Structure 1
Amino acid sequence: MTHLVFGAGLVGSYLAGVLAINGYRTTAIGRDTQLSALAAGVKLSDFLGNHATAPAVTAFNQHNDDAPEVIWLTVKCTDLTRAAQALKSVTGPKTSIVCCQNGLRAAHQIRAALPGRKVFSAVVPFNVVRLDDGTLHRGSEGPLTLPREIKRVLPGFSGAMQHPLLSLRFTSDISAVQAAKLQLNLSNAVNALSDLPVKTMLEDRGYRKIIAELMREWLEVASVNRIAVAKVTRIDGKWLPFLLCLPNFLFRRVARKMLDIDPTVRTSMWWDLQRGKATEIEDLNGEVVRQGVIARNYCPANKVIIDLIHDAEKQRRETGRYAAMSASELHNEIEIKRLEKSSYKI
């Protein structure tokens, strides 16, 4: 079985490395720096202490390489439109596409652009960072989750990703898992605005209470709109807002596993802001607001976070940096928006 990783960033390169270690013919499409690292044999590690060096992964050559059997689409949501056009020239009639994006809409967008192709959603719950020595390091837990149907369409697929560096899970309801991942991803924007590592942010009750409010809004609109939200963490997602609001001493005791992450881990949205790139805010918190329109729920906390991220994007473009915000500043902005809506109703 041949594999192509389309969008060999941090997560894509990590997946390509695991595929190559497992002996699969793997090629990649990405930036020259990433492709050079893969060609040299990238080192992989994880927070559990596992490590390995992958065989060389070469750049995909459209003229010499046959269409792959599996394409792992690992570009950001913001690059999907461009990627969909490029995929038309590298897919064949038997190519299956696995969409690894955040949010709920990526697979629908690719199916619309490539009718007749087999398109699956995947949920990537972990973070990958590049260490100083070039090692790609998985800094948080969670299994790569795929729809059970893919095993029927692609017999033998399971072995491609089974490795100590990457756990694998299959589900009969990938949409519910995506909805649960969306809930967890609502913290990405708070992490970006705080300008702190994820662990440090979670140790601050003020930031946790902001994340809890974002999650409450999502759970409310998901319930009204009958969107199933799977249980993907040890604690059911419906209890996470309550847990996040606990005093620090209780939170540290009850949520030890939540804090058992690499102290250097930052979210992808933080990295996007640092690099001056467009963020996925419209595909994450923006999805909550869109679903809120259907549910007739104003979702003020998510609306505020969207505005603040767009402000930060503008600051970064114009000045090369953006101002970090404290938890109290974020709370005040949300309360102002809530009061504006209350006044409007009156």
Structure 2
Amino acid sequence: MSFSPFTVAVMGAGAVGCYFGGMLARHGHRVTLIARPQHVAAMDISGLRMQTTQFDEHVPLAASSQASAVQGAQLVLFCVKSLDTEAAGALIRPHLHPDALVLCLQNGVDNTGRLRGVLPQHAVAAAVVYVATEMAGPGHVRHHGRGDLVMEPSRNSDAVAQAFVAAGVPTEVSPNLTGALWAKLILNCAYNAVSAISQLPYGKTVAGEGVRDLMRDVVSECLAVAHAEGVHLAGDVHAAVDQLAGSMPSQFSSTAQDLARGKVTEIDHLNGLIVRRGEALGIATPANRALWAMVKLLESKVSD
């Protein structure tokens, strides 16, 4: 069977973007990572170092710090932080190919809709990401576990999914992407703030006294909000939350990583979103509110 490589750009090539972009580049696709200057400088010298659970190697690819590097890309992996969605979308819009597919690999449930507000609606597709990664240094991504995607049906979604699968990324196209996004949001609400506040990885957080009970309260509140919004969630969400720490015991949440680096977190789009939606629906969310408030307090501490 012949192989037709995609031209791929990764907008916001942090840990998630570097992992998935690197996997595609390793399989022969033409990939450009759009990242911070220190990462670009390192990759210009020796490519992207991918230190995964299966291999440790330098992957050759292109890198740029300019949004204009999306020009000509057939596939854009959109991986910026939730608070930067509209601004980053506006930056790439003038350079976007008319037939490009922009695949959202972001946390939260509202980014795709927000991105469609600044880009052509038909160009944007949602995806759910399950991967444990971190940037271990300039141009160096470290992978701790998983690495799979769920995509919504869209133009070229089958071809894109096949390309990911061939590159070693398990990928599913699902008609219930909203349910999948909410299931991932609930996992993030249960783990991210607890890991951030404690600065501990998932395996150690769940061993803390009372933490599993707290997580169950968080999940129950999230489920109440999701059900009130008419979201269909398949499977046992409580069981999925219980199992996550076992599959990623050494992973620090992205929220924990942001706080450790003195950055603003995405907590407003995680537990904070549940709080806001709960208020609008008349549903009490005290566990989510407490976690959101604590992370906001820590954010103010690191930004002083």
Is residue 295 from structure 1 mapped to residue 295 from structure 2 by the alignment?
A: no
- CA gap 1:65/1:303 in 2 versus in 1, 3 angstroms: closer
Other-structure match for 2:181: 178
How far 1:45 moved relative to its partner? 3.5
Other-structure match for 1:112: 117
User: How many angstroms apart in 2 are the aligned matches of 1:312 and 1:124?
Assistant: 26
SS where residue 124 of structure 1 aligns? Answer: strand
Aligned pairs (5 A) from 1:83-94: 83-94=88-99
SS where residue 169 of structure 1 aligns? Answer: strand
Q: How many residues align?
A: 297
Contact 1:161/1:168, CA 8 A, preserved across alignment: yes
Other-structure match for 2:292: 306
- C-alpha offsets along residues 25-44 of structure 1, whole Å, 9 cap, x if unaligned? 11121101222333322232
- CA gap 1:117/1:34 in 2 versus in 1, 3 angstroms: farther
SS where residue 125 of structure 1 aligns? Answer: strand
One-letter amino acid of the counterpart of residue 55, structure 1: P
User: How many angstroms apart in 2 are the aligned matches of 1:224 and 1:14?
Assistant: 35
Q: Which has the higher strand share?
A: 2
- CA gap 1:194/1:78 in 2 versus in 1, 3 angstroms: same
- CA gap 1:188/1:60 in 2 versus in 1, 3 angstroms: closer
Match of 2:62 among 49, 52, 57: 57
Computing the radius of gyration from Cα coordinates, the structure with the larger value is 1
Contact 1:219/1:238, CA 8 A, preserved across alignment: no
Gap regions ≥5 residues in structure 1: 245-254, 319-346
Match of 1:191 among 181, 195, 199: 195
- Percent identity of the aligned residues? 27
Gap regions ≥5 residues in structure 2: 1-5
* Cα RMSD after superposing both structures: 2.5
How far 1:193 moved relative to its partner? 0.6
- CA gap 1:164/1:118 in 2 versus in 1, 3 angstroms: closer
- CA gap 1:38/1:166 in 2 versus in 1, 3 angstroms: farther
Contact 1:46/1:165, CA 8 A, preserved across alignment: no
Is residue 169 from structure 1 mapped to residue 148 from structure 2 by the alignment?
A: no
- C-alpha offsets along residues 290-309 of structure 1, whole Å, 9 cap, x if unaligned? 22123311211111111111
User: How many angstroms apart in 2 are the aligned matches of 1:134 and 1:26?
Assistant: 14
Match of 2:27 among 22, 26, 31: 22
Is residue 261 from structure 1 mapped to residue 255 from structure 2 by the alignment?
A: no
Give TM-score scaled by structure 1 length. Answer: 0.78
- C-alpha offsets along residues 230-287 of structure 1, whole Å, 9 cap, x if unaligned? 34xxxx204467xx5xxxxxxxxxx5x7424353x21100111112211111101122
- C-alpha offsets along residues 280-335 of structure 1, whole Å, 9 cap, x if unaligned? 111011221122123311211111111111111111122xxxxxxxxxxxxxxxxx
Give TM-score scaled by structure 2 length. Answer: 0.88
